[in-house]
Chain A
Amino acid sequence: MSARSKTLALHVGVILALLLLHFVLPTYHHGNLARIMVLSVYAMGFNLVFGYTGLLSLGHALFFAAGMYGSGLTIAHLGFGAEAAFLAGVVSAFIISAIVGALALRTAGVALMIVTLMFAQAGWYTILYFGEYTRGDEGFVIQRPDRVFWGIDLSDASNRYLVALLLFAATLIITLKFVESRFGRVLVAIRENEERARMLGYDIFRYKLGAVILSGTISGLAGASYGLLFGYVGATFATVQYSILPLLWVLLGGAGTVLGPLVGTAFMTYLIDKSSEYTAAYMIVAGVVLVLLTLFARQGIMGEVRRRFLPWLP
């Protein structure tokens, strides 16, 4: 069995497994998994930049929020339908990631990290500044009638799950195709040895920008879906914490692995959900995990799996 077909089998298998879980999971975990799938779309978007291109962005919350507010505000103030609003969200994430990318990618390393952080911070302040429209920190509800997509009521539990699964599957396949594409392989080359890649004649900036835009747009897609699926648009999603979370998920699951984001997001979500039953300070878990990861498992879960068992894992 060739690596390609193994890969294909594995990922189709994962998607089918998630579909199967739809019928067997108890309500709570069913709902959780729906959220996890949407958030791992966000994580997959982040992974393209962090895991595959080797760029550390601390500002992805800006793209997530761009998607969320792009859809939420158009519904609230322009009376868009869910379909148009969703599109608006993705487009605004696309535009913003293009702008931020074009600027931020002039820097590298530490500077890049701080620049992205600053842009995201400015974005958050902007949301608060235009509180008249965004309702500032309070945020606002997307009412159920506004959450009907192609006649599908997204507030219905099973619809939400299936739509989340659809989004997840689509993103999974896209990222899989992407990282196996020539473009994707160049990104990996850039991550591994930027100077060498340049001296092979690749326009590094163009490739990085491409990665940031795709990554930002996917993050925005996650943000837009999150708003529509869970009915709330709020400024906390634009705060630094929501830039750090995908980093945490991806590191935990395994940077530069296609399935890592899902694994990491699921693992972290349940870790916090469980630990919150024992300690009020459950974010301490996030902290400890981050430190331990850097110390002992920089590859993350799937990274280790790849290293030990499945070298062909993309």
Chain B
Amino acid sequence: MEFGPHLLLAILEGAVQAAVLTLTAVGLSLVFGVMRVVNVAHGEFYMLGAVLAWCVTSTLGGHPAIGFVAALIIAPLMVGLIAAAADIFILKRLEYEPKNTIVATIGMLYVIQQVTLIAYGPEARPVQAPFNQRISLPWFEFGDAGFALTWPWGFGTTTYKLAVIVAAVVVLIGLWNLMARSRLGLIMRATQLDREMAQAFGMPVEKVNAMVFGLGAALAALAGVLIVPIQQAHYLMGAEPLLLSFIVVIIGGLGSLAGTVLAAVVIGLSDGVISVFFSPTLAKILSTLFVALILVFRPQGLFGKRDL
């Protein structure tokens, strides 16, 4: 394929990754920003979303759209509740002491993963997309015949992939409204800005923790539901998004939501684009080191202001 379409395709693919990644990472960022909790189990909430989506769709049956819509509602809800419970019964009792919460969430990671293995099994199971038509994309070139549209071989995408991008944007707008307009949002923003001050102003900081943790997990789960028609639900699928979300949240500046979104888009796209230029595995090495070094020399992240 010529360079132009190749790059564009990579960007398109990157955009889908970015969309899902943004939701996952925003969830992680929210939890860190407001609760100062590093949730190592975040990837497992993403996985749970995907797995639950499979359960819902396969039990409902009928036209794929029905089950999928149901999954979009049920899966995040259930995961959110699970997470809230985890906060109340575990994290709260640890008084959110950083080292202990990290260790505890590592423990939660294993528990969620292994319980899924027992209940759901080791297979990767597919969920049918509500709709999925292939769209061939055109490319232009200036031949001797002047300007002409061509349809490069293999240059295309699918309606569902585009829908995922749209969905992510919609959810983000919704989230933005929640943060900007609702009381919960106010409390969250205040806590994020200055926990002590928020408490001083008599805000129920501790009370919102469970909600925030649930919301963060629900976002990850939603991402899981959106991705599962493209990828399959598998009990080990949580590792990759966890690592990527960490990267995103760091680059975005721990806790800064705007930074996180920006970073997610950049990382997601570059993940696609880098593959155009580098040997993929080498690319992974370089990007991982890059992130580490950013944290070393610019702990507040590329876009963030707050120090750790």
**Which residues on the A side are within 8 Å of B200 (C-beta)?**
none
Q: Does B111 contact A (CB under 8 A)?
A: yes
Task: Report the minimum CB–CB distance from B115 to chain A (whole Å).
Answer: 7
Among listed B9-17, B139-147, B278-286, interface-contacting one: B278-286
Is A283 in contact with B308, judged by CB distance below 8 angstroms? no
Q: Does B98 contact A (CB under 8 A)?
A: yes
- Chain B residue nearest to A291 (CB atoms) is B107
Is B293 in contact with A103, judged by CB distance below 8 angstroms? yes
Task: Report the minimum CB–CB distance from B28 to chain A (whole Å).
Answer: 11
Is B111 in contact with A287, judged by CB distance below 8 angstroms? yes
Q: Which of B100, B110, B114, B289 contacts A294 (CB 8 A)?
A: B100
Is A287 in contact with B295, judged by CB distance below 8 angstroms? no
| Tally of B interface residues using CB under 8 Å | 45
Q: A117 CA to B243 CA in the complex, in Å?
A: 9
Is A121 in contact with B243, judged by CB distance below 8 angstroms? yes
| Contact residues of B between 222 and 246, Cβ < 8 Å to A | 239, 243, 246
Given A103-B296, A122-B288, A129-B282, A295 and B94 touching (CB < 8 A)? yes
Among listed A10-18, A82-90, A104-112, interface-contacting one: A104-112
**Which residues on the A side are within 8 Å of B285 (C-beta)?**
122, 125-126, 129
**Which residues on the B side are within 8 Å of A240 (C-beta)?**
239
| Contact residues of B between 75 and 134, Cβ < 8 Å to A | 90, 93-94, 98-104, 106-115, 117-118
Q: A289 CA to B285 CA in the complex, in Å?
A: 33
Is B282 in contact with A118, judged by CB distance below 8 angstroms? no
Q: Does A251 contact B (CB under 8 A)?
A: yes
Given A114-B246, A129-B281, A295-B94, A107 and B295 touching (CB < 8 A)? yes
Using a CB–CB distance below 8 Å, which chain A residues touch chain B? Answer: 56, 103-104, 106-111, 113-115, 117-119, 121-122, 125-126, 128-129, 240, 244, 247, 251, 279-284, 286-291, 293-295, 298
Sample of 17 more A-B contacts, CB < 8 Å, known A103-B296, A110-B102, A129-B282: A110-B308, A111-B299, A111-B308, A114-B292, A115-B296, A118-B288, A119-B289, A125-B281, A126-B285, A240-B239, A281-B114, A281-B118, A283-B113, A287-B108, A287-B114, A294-B104, A295-B104
Using a CB–CB distance below 8 Å, which chain B residues touch chain A? Answer: 32, 38, 90, 93-94, 98-104, 106-115, 117-118, 239, 243, 246-247, 250, 254, 279, 281-282, 284-285, 288-289, 291-293, 295-297, 299, 308
